[in-house]
Amino acid sequence: MKFQQIDEYAARLRPETKASVHSGSKAGHEKRTKVLFDHFIDPDRLRRIAGDIKQHVVENLDTYLPAVEAKLRANGVHVHWAATAEAANEAVYSILQARGARRMVKAKTMVSEETELGRFLEKRGVECVETDLGEFIVQIDGDHPSHIVKPIIHKNRREIATSFERHGLGAYNDDPETITRRARVHLRHKYLEADVGLTGANFVVAESGRIVLVTNEGNSRFCLAATKCHIAMVGIEKILPRDRDLGLLLNLLARSGTGQQLTVYTEFISGPRGPAQPDGPEEMHVVFVDNGRTDVLASECRDILRCIRCGACLNVCPVYRQASGHAYRSVYPGPVGAVLSPLLAGERFPAMADLPKASSLCGACNEVCPVNIPIPDLLLRLREKGKREGSDAAAAGTPAMGGWAVMASQPFAWKAALAGGRIMNVLPTKYVPVAALQAWQSRRTLPTWRGGTFRTWLHDRRKQQSQAGSAAPRN
Amino acid sequence: MLNHDRPPLTERRVQLMATCLCDAFYDDVARATVEVLEHLGVAVEFPEGQTCCGQPAFNGGDWAASRKVVRHTVKTFAGSVPVIVPSGSCAAMMFHGAPLEFEREADLPEVEALGRRTWELADYLVNGLGLTSWPGRYDARIAFHRSCHSRGTATGEAAQRLLESIPGVTVLPFGEGEQCCGFGGTFSVSFPTISSAMGSLKLEHIRAVQPDALVSVDMSCLMHLGGLADKEGRPIRILHLAQVLRDALRQGGLLG
């Protein structure tokens, strides 16, 4: 492979897709910045505090997880633990089987994308309908989300209108309001027919056992309105210590993710329907999913488990904007994905070790992260891991550094190279078979080689200064 | 970040880390750095054995190769005086990158000690020497590119402050200033499509404000942006901050 896979993907990207991704992410970033800095005197301080809270959770998961389980059980919730994606899907399926359930409505959850729950259930004859509008469109297209918060950021409304027409949801119409209304009518029936509603969780509070969900479409509420059983599929890192931590985290999540002060709907669910409550699911399950997270916890990159899936790092990332989410070949794209996906890949790490290379290390991701994850440092750690493990994917297009290191640690060799480099000024560099030189020149000119010129100048200056100094009259 | 707990400055004596790019391509930037510092009465030593900060291999993932070069750099810049670098990127390598790759090495303390006394030039002028403005004259409309390695450091603000204070200089804000130029070290050659697309976007924003020159504290960004503009057949004038400061002194008659 001549260059990095993600770069080659970007080179092939359709201009319309690139335009959608670029404008969508740029707008998201600008809204985020405005709403954060308009409302808070020092958003960076808030990001650091939120980061400390989440890091505390990550460092103390071993005590928080049993505490959460006890609280949830006390609240009447069934708790399941799933070490792998398959175990998580099986846990959901066995709940459905026990109830004889055939139809499920589902709110947006990234962890279910990880486990490919929808495909798993449909193979077993369970209808599994995505109810988030973006995810619904992804589902009818047989596509994958390309953004954590805006799954269809890569599509424009004309493409969506075509998908709706193909799926039998009315004649072609690319008016967003019409599209939304048609989806709404279609989904209302699905809500009423469903046996089980499945959601994720943005936060699970250890203190109270509360599950917190944020949406803008209210679809997670509908998922739980007519169904008798609620299943929440949750990554084990989603815990917050105290209810009052929600004040900070919810404020940061909405602002960072969608540029809103708060999402339109924020749900606090503390268990199945109580005797005094007229409706709501009578049965509630939480499936805690590990799926590689404890390996991440044991690694030098555990800080990534702070992530609250807001997508701000995708929006600001210049590489994501050029490459789109699908370039990352994984559920989590962008800077967070470039760290998380190779780590979650487990034994497949070497095949995914090019993802951490897809960054100019500009640091914008760290600057916008609501939990202040040092993403560039983590990318660097993973680059080192990729190199150490001899990943071909990571090595593609990257110049070897061994010879350079020898030269740059021996002053004589370095000075010789400074002088010798002048040959570059007369060589037809277009034809010199050095990949890095060719890649550079395919897009940019090379400056003139002036190796050693500064040293000569300084040497002459010092000579003149010392002559002037000795010639100067002494007192 | 390590450069936040730097030892106080006691004398005007420094070591210059010229950077490999200035050593190989941009000698006038290193010259200007010397002239600016000496104009301020700072004695400048140039450790002859210096090569590179080690960043290319660090960013490329080859930490073993990088550590070899960093160890050489630590040895070359022995002593206790501040090390001044006309590059935010190389400075950040010394106070942030190198300690990261030496985390589990026995000589981490030496590496950290070098990091603590390493200053990017503008940061040294403003926060080390306490300058609040720059004298002389420089008649130009300048687009200032805040290079990414200055994020979270005092460099960007320091450089902007000096530039804005120079009589005759207008600093022009341009769109999406916080976005990266697309250089990124080895990224520029292993991701040529994305790297150049990022650079072209940056150039579009810069050209829109019609500056006389594009100024930065990092020649790596400028080499990429300048080379890209050349290749597009629409060259732009690139200048390092040190060159602007030196030329302002000259045009103000303060320097021969």
Q: Which amino acid appears at position A2 of this protein?
A: K
Cα pseudo-dihedral A254, A255, A257, A263, rounded to 10: 30
Answer yes or no: are the C-beta atoms of A368 and A393 closer than 8 Å: no
Residue-wise burial string across A109-129, b where 16 or more C-beta atoms lie within 10 A, e elsewhere: bbbbbbbebbebbeeeebbbb
**Tokens (6 digits) for A442:** 């395919």
pLDDT of residue B4: 62
* pLDDT tens profile A181-235: 999 999 999 999 999 999 999 999 999 999 999 999 999 999 999 899 999 999 9
Grouping H, G, I as helix, E, B as strand and the rest as coil, residue B118 is strand
Answer yes or no: are the C-beta atoms of A96 and A283 closer than 8 Å: no
pLDDT of A1 > 60? The answer is no
Quick check: B149 contacting A, CB < 8 Å?
yes
C-alpha span between A99 and A2 (Å, rounded): 54
pLDDT of A470 > 90? The answer is no
Q: Considering only CB atoms, which chain A residues are within 8 Å of B189?
A: 397, 399, 435-436, 439-440
Quick check: A268 contacting B, CB < 8 Å?
no
Domain annotation for chain B: domains and CATH numbers: 2-128 (3.40.50), 140-251 (3.40.50.1860)
Read off the pLDDT band of B3 (50, 70, 90): low
Q: Which domain holds residue A461?
A: 404-471
Chain A nearest C-alpha distance from B61 (Å): 4
> Which A positions 72-111 lie with beta carbon below 8 A of chain B?
none
> Which B positions 46-105 lie with beta carbon below 8 A of chain A?
46, 48-52, 54, 56-63, 65-66, 68-69, 71-72, 76, 97, 100-101
First CA to last CA across chain A, in angstroms?
A: 70
Task: Say if A297 falls within a structural domain.
Answer: no
Mean pLDDT of A361-365: 97
Q: How far is CA A269 from the centre of its chain?
A: 26
Q: Which of A6, A443, A450 sits opposite B27 (nearest CB)?
A: A450
Please answer yes or no on whether A452 and B23 come within 8 Å at the CB atom: yes
Please answer yes or no on whether A363 and B187 come within 8 Å at the CB atom: no
Read off the pLDDT band of B82 (50, 70, 90): very high
Read off the pLDDT band of B256 (50, 70, 90): confident
- Do A416 and A276 share a structural domain? no
Task: Say if A87 falls within a structural domain.
Answer: yes
Q: Which of A323, A367, A457 sits opposite B194 (nearest CB)?
A: A323
Answer yes or no: are the C-beta atoms of A9 and A1 closer than 8 Å: no
Q: Which of A48, A257, A383, A376 is nearest to B148 (CA)?
A: A376
- Would you say how long chain A is, in residues? 475
pLDDT of residue A434: 85
Q: Is the dihedral of CA B96, A411, B56, B230 positive or negative?
A: positive
pLDDT of A472 > 60? The answer is no
pLDDT of residue A475: 43
* pLDDT tens profile B171-195: 999 999 999 999 999 999 999 999 9
Chain B nearest C-alpha distance from A294 (Å): 23
A-interface mutation test, from B15, B89, B189, most A Cβ less than 10 A away: B189
> Which B positions 205-234 lie with beta carbon below 8 A of chain A?
223-224, 226-228, 230-231
pLDDT of residue A427: 85
pLDDT of residue A133: 96
Give the CATH number of the domain where residue A184 resides.
3.40.50.10420
- Do A198 and A71 share a structural domain? yes
pLDDT of B201 > 80? The answer is yes
Number of domains in chain A: 2
- Do A278 and A415 share a structural domain? no
Residues whose CB is less than 8 angstroms from the CB of residue B204 and which lie 6 or more positions away in sequence, other chains included = none
Q: Considering only CB atoms, which chain B residues are within 8 Å of A398?
A: 60-61, 186, 190
Answer yes or no: are the C-beta atoms of A286 and A91 closer than 8 Å: no
Grouping H, G, I as helix, E, B as strand and the rest as coil, residue B1 is coil
Read off the pLDDT band of A469 (50, 70, 90): confident
Task: Say if A25 falls within a structural domain.
Answer: no
Answer yes or no: are the C-beta atoms of A421 and A385 closer than 8 Å: no
Read off the pLDDT band of B152 (50, 70, 90): confident
Helix (H) or strand (E) holding B185: none
pLDDT of A473 > 70? The answer is no
Task: Say if A69 falls within a structural domain.
Answer: yes
Mean pLDDT of A470-474: 58
Give percent of chain A with pLDDT exceeding 90: 93
Mean pLDDT of A301-317: 98
pLDDT of residue A474: 46
pLDDT of B15 > 60? The answer is yes
Examine the fold and report which residue of A265, A291, A317 is the final residue of a domain before the chain moves on: A291
Q: Considering only CB atoms, which chain A residues are within 8 Å of B58?
A: 380
Task: Say if A394 falls within a structural domain.
Answer: no
pLDDT of B164 > 90? The answer is yes
User: Mind spelling out the 3-state secondary structure of chain A?
Assistant: CCCCHHHHHHHHCCHHHHHHHHHHHHHHHHHHHHHHHHHCCCHHHHHHHHHHHHHHHHHCHHHHHHHHHHHHHHCCCEEEEECCHHHHHHHHHHHHHHHCCCEEEECCCHHHHHHCHHHHHHHCCCEEEECCHHHHHHHHHCCCCCCCCCCCCCCCHHHHHHHHHHCCCCCCCCCHHHHHHHHHHHHHHHHHHCCEEEECCCEEECCCCCEEEEECCCHHHHHHHCCCEEEEEEECCCEECCCCHHHHHHHHHHHHHHCCCCCCEEEEECCCCCCCCCCCCCEEEEEEECCCHHHHHHCCCHHHHHCCCCCHHHHHCHHHHHHCHHHHCCCCCHHHHHHHHHHHCHHHHHHHCCHHHCCCCCCHHHHHCCCCCCHHHHHHHHHHHHHHCCCHHHHCCCCCCHHHHHHCCCHHHHHHHHHHHHHHHCCCHHHCCCHHHHHHHHHCCCCCCCCCHHHHHHHHHHHHHHHHHHHCCCC
C-alpha span between A251 and A261 (Å, rounded): 6
Task: Say if A95 falls within a structural domain.
Answer: yes
**Tokens (6 digits) for B121:** 């030039």
Q: Which of A32, A177, A201, A228 is nearest to A108 (CA)?
A: A201
C-alpha span between B155 and A307 (Å, rounded): 29
Give percent of chain A with pLDDT exceeding 70: 99
Residues whose CB is less than 8 angstroms from the CB of residue A13 and which lie 6 or more positions away in sequence, other chains included = A322, A323, A324, A327
Task: Say if A2 falls within a structural domain.
Answer: no
The mean pLDDT value of chain B amounts to 96
Examine the fold and report which residue of A245, A260, A291 is the final residue of a domain before the chain moves on: A291
Task: Say if A243 falls within a structural domain.
Answer: yes
Examine the fold and report which residue of A291, A309, A324 is the final residue of a domain before the chain moves on: A291
* pLDDT tens profile A8-45: 999 999 999 999 999 999 999 999 999 999 999 999 99
Q: How many helices (H) and strands (E) does chain B have?
A: 13, 8
Angle among Cα B254, B255, B256 to the nearest 5 degrees reads 130
Residues whose CB is less than 8 angstroms from the CB of residue A431 and which lie 6 or more positions away in sequence, other chains included = none
Mean pLDDT of A387-396: 96
pLDDT of A433 > 70? The answer is yes
